[in-house]
Amino acid sequence: MDFLTSPAFWVALGQIIMIDILLGGDNAVVIALACRKLPPAQRTKGIIWGTAGAIVLRVILIFFAMTLLALPWLKFIGALLLVWIGIKLIAPDEDGHGDVATSDKLLAAIKTIIVADLVMSVDNVIAIAGAAQNAGEHQMLLVVLGLLISIPIIVWGSQLVIKLMARFPFIITAGGMLLGWIAGGMLVSDPVLANPDKWQWMLKLPQNDIVKYGASVAGALLVLVIGKMVAARQVKTAEAH
């Protein structure tokens, strides 16, 4: 237990908690969006179980962070998944919605939270792993403690966002665009596009702020445009019936 008296341990733990809090803003939006249509009695369950599942998967992902992030196409595929989730949040499929049992809706919300959090974590686990790297054999303990301390912040944040969305519906669109923003930045940093020494048959992108923020803006606009188009088509289809 000597590590508890080490300043390096507490500094690393503080860094991990700060990283988790910063990520919690994005995750709270995803959790809130996924749970917004659940009955009030089911929302807390969706938030708790979705967050718990996401936390477990994130710990596993951090454990394999260095290997996973070095694999080609992982961020590329993750970015496409985020775009798809963002579009579905802006233009949810209402077909047969009234026939879906409450338990199915709860499980669907939990699944959305876990998948979105897992995808969004790809760009951030390396920061957490870096903060813990000087802790030696206590790396995973740091990661788990940081995540556990952050859970109440993420859960409280998602409940606040749900209340805000009921009053300001445009937050739903902003949440979808946020996922597109994250997807754009994730895609251009995939090793296939970023590493000039490997996969030379692929287009290489300079890794600077202009490329990153440009891709993020493009991702947000892509989700907005496609989401609005799909939503408009759904309205026309509903009116035709």
- What average pLDDT does the chain have? 75
Token output for 21: 């809090």
Q: What is the pLDDT of residue 219?
A: 93
Instruction: Compute CA distances 80 → 2, 48, 185, 209, whole Å.
Output: 45, 26, 12, 21
Per residue in 128-164, pLDDT (tens digit) is 665 665 555 666 777 777 777 766 766 676 667 667 7
Q: What is the pLDDT of residues 47-57, one digit of tens each?
A: 788 878 877 87
Give pLDDT, residue 170.
83
Q: What is the pLDDT of residues 170-219, one digit of tens each?
A: 888 888 888 888 888 888 888 888 777 777 777 788 888 898 899 999 99
Give dist(CA 43, CA 37) in Å, integer: 8
Mean pLDDT of 229-236: 89
The more confidently predicted of residues 73 and 68 is 73
The phi-psi region of residue 136 (left if phi > 0; otherwise alpha if psi is between -120 and 50; otherwise beta) is left
Cα(57)–Cα(118) distance, integer angstroms:
7
Q: Does the structure show a pLDDT above 90 at 223?
A: yes
The pLDDT of residue 101 is above 50? no
What does the pLDDT read at residue 137? 61
What CA–CA distances, in Å, run from 172 to 11, 87, 169, 224?
36, 11, 6, 11
pLDDT at 120 over 70: no
**Separation of alpha carbons 56 and 194, rounded Å:** 29
Please list, in sequence order, all residues whose beta carbon lies within 8 angstroms of the beta carbon of residue 167, skipping any fewer than 6 positions away: none
Q: Is the pLDDT of residue 99 over 70?
A: no
* Residue 17 CB neighbours (<10 A): 19
The vertex-76 CA angle with 70 and 82, nearest 5°, equals 125
Higher pLDDT, 27 or 38: 38
